[in-house]
């Protein structure tokens, strides 16, 4: 018998609304709910037609949402779009390793609750502490021949953990990115080395995070690149989600960040580098006075570290591949974030998908909502992918949401939405692949909603405070449309966009 796991947090949420067998709670933030539910449930039925999807995309400001609990742990989710209700049916995921972050399961016996190492702190997954995976680290560890002392955790990703550290030689606070021992990361190191050698006479130099040092460590899970980077603050996505009442940036910050990202891209392009992963989580606020703090005040600014013990099955000794404790990532306080937004400045971070013009990959793992069409269609890639993603980014900086729907977005649905918004025709070389993906190739509808109308609607059709004027939004839409052309070579360069008076 296969066990179905339902997360305690979701059960508790349901319990607050009534009996679990017959519950129809209303969700005020169903978008967040859908993102969360995807961790635990997988879609098994979608009754939407293509036309319904297109309408819901145009009006993705969801007015109402209901879900009901069915047999065997299924959930029927209903959301209301402009054209009416639509239903989706979910079933629990059966792979327990996907359910509880920071917990490692062994799937040797599917009929029993598996043994596992566990930790109370929700952070990087423990199963990645294995050969080829993360290197186990602890607060207070000193790396790089006694030079870099680890003070706090900054975060983690699929291929690295990131730590705040003190450079005890140069008396400098830095970020230490320790990659997994998988070979893919060598491309990032190559790009960062190239960036470090560039002169600082381009204004965009200031808006790109740079490597200060690098070294290699060998541990129980393999050999790991350690990248010493400039230390920056919270990323823009976290700032918007956690610290801004209206879930979007003030107009001055949105405009300034748009300018700075374009300047940063101009510097990267002049250096023959493509970033490949431009989105709000890869833009981080700078902290101008950080280096003047003593160690105690520095840690206080990041928040006192919170650690959780890693426990083995039946409290058995842990293998050397695992850390003894997991550290919760630092979180900047609300007051500090507001102070940073008063004089905002950002840097482009995370070069894990970046590439040199002489060594371009065949594909990129750019998030689907900001993925350029040439990536979707498997076409030849270059730095123009960043221009498309930047158009999506500027839209999100202004409105608080991407131009394309993020809920259950797939490449075919993304292309449908692109065709609806973009004035261009889909290039002929992509038509055959589009036919395979979706059926008969679709061309833009002259009566469809284009960028200006869509940007205006998303920005003004809400109870959020409107700081931009309609003329501001119209001009911004024109700039975004110039960045988001189907044909990569027709996209405007960063300098062409920066020449506009909107900035």
pLDDT in tens, 59-80: 333 334 444 454 444 555 554 4
For range 366-374, the mean pLDDT: 96
| Average pLDDT of the residues in 1-5 | 28
Cβ neighbours for 401, distance < 8 A, ≥ 6 positions apart: 60, 458
Going from N- to C-terminal start, the domains of the chain cover 8-94, 234-291+333-498
pLDDT tier, 92 (very low <50, low <70, confident <90, very high otherwise): very low
Give, to the nearest 10 degrees, the angle between helix 384-399 and helix 470-483. 160
For residue 407, give Cα distances in angstroms to 31, 34, 57, 369: 7, 7, 10, 10
Predicted confidence (pLDDT) per residue in 148-161, tens digit: 999 999 999 888 99
Query: Mean pLDDT for the chain?
Result: 80
Q: CB-side exposure of 2: number of CA atoms within 13 Å?
A: 9
Quick check: 499 pLDDT over 70?
yes
pLDDT number for residue 198? 94
Residue 444 reports pLDDT greater than 60: no
Task: CATH number for 234-291+333-498: choose from 3.90.1150.10, 3.40.50.300, 3.40.50.1220, 1.10.510.10.
Answer: 1.10.510.10
pLDDT score of 451? 81
Report the number of secondary-structure helices (H) and strands (E) in the chain. Answer: 15, 18
Of 134, 303, 137, nearest in space to 221 by CA: 134
The model's pTM is: 0.76
Q: Is the pLDDT of residue 9 over 60?
A: no
Distance (Å, whole) CA 178 – CA 163: 8
If phi over 0 gives left and psi between -120 and 50 gives alpha, with beta otherwise, what is residue 329?
beta
Cα 494 from Cα 277, distance rounded (Å): 16
Q: 253 to each of 128, 196, 250, 365, how far by Cα in Å?
A: 37, 28, 5, 28
Please, which pLDDT band fits residue 215 given cuts at 50, 70 and 90? Answer: very high
For residue 88, what pLDDT is reported?
52
Separation of alpha carbons 143 and 139, rounded Å: 11
């Amino acid at each position: 018998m296969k066990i179905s796991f339902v997360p305690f947090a979701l059960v508790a949420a349901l319990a607050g609304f009534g009996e679990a067998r017959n519950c129809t709670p209303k969700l005020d933030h169903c978008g967040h709910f859908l993102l969360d539910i995807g961790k635990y449930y997988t879609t098994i039925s979608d009754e939407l037609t293509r036309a319904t999807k297109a309408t819901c995309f145009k009006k993705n400001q969801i007015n109402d949402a209901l879900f009901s609990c069915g047999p065997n742990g299924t959930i029927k989710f209903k959301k209301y779009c402009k054209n009416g209700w639509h239903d989706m049916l979910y079933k629990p995921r059966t792979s327990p390793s996907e359910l509880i972050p920071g917990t490692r399961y062994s799937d040797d016996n599917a009929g029993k609750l598996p043994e596992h190492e566990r930790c109370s702190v929700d952070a990087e997954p423990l199963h990645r502490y294995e050969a080829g995976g993360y290197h186990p680290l602890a607060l207070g560890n000193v790396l790089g021949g006694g030079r870099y002392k680890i003070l706090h955790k900054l975060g983690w990703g699929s291929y690295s953990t990131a730590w705040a550290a003190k450079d005890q030689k140069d008396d400098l606070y830095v970020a230490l990115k320790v990659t997994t021992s998988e070979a893919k990361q060598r491309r990032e190191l190559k790009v960062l080395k190239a960036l470090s050698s560039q002169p600082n006479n381009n204004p965009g130099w200031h808006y790109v995070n740079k490597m200060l040092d690098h070294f290699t460590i060998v541990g129980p899970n393999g050999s790991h690149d350690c990248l010493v980077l400039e230390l920056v603050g919270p990323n823009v996505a976290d700032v918007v989600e956690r610290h801004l009442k209206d879930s979007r940036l003030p107009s001055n910050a949105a405009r300034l960040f748009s300018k700075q990202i374009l300047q940063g891209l101009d510097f990267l392009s002049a250096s023959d580098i493509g970033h490949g992963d431009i989105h709000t989580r890869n833009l981080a606020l700078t902290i101008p006075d950080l280096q003047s703090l003593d160690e105690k005040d520095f840690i206080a600014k990041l928040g006192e570290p919170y650690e959780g013990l890693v426990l083995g099955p039946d409290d058995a000794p842990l293998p050397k591949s695992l850390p003894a404790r997991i550290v919760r990532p630092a979180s900047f306080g609300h007051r500090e974030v507001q102070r940073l937004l008063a004089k905002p400045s950002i840097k482009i971070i995370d070069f894990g998908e970046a590439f040199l013009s002489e060594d371009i990959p065949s594909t990129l793992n750019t998030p689907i909502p900001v993925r350029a069409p040439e990536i979707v269609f498997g076409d030849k890639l270059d730095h123009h992918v960043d221009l498309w993603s930047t158009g999506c980014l500027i839209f999100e900086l202004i409105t608080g949401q991407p131009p394309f729907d993020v809920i259950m977005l797939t490449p075919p649905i993304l292309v449908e939405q692109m065709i609806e918004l973009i004035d261009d025709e889909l290039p002929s070389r992509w038509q055959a692949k589009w036919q395979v993906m979706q059926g008969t190739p679709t061309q833009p509808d002259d009566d469809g909603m284009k960028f200006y109308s869509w940007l205006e609607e998303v920005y003004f059709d809400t109870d959020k405070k409107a700081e931009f004027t309609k003329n501001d939004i119209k001009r911004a839409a024109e700039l975004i449309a110039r960045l988001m052309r189907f044909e990569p070579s027709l996209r405007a360069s960063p300098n062409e966009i920066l020449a506009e008076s909107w900035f």
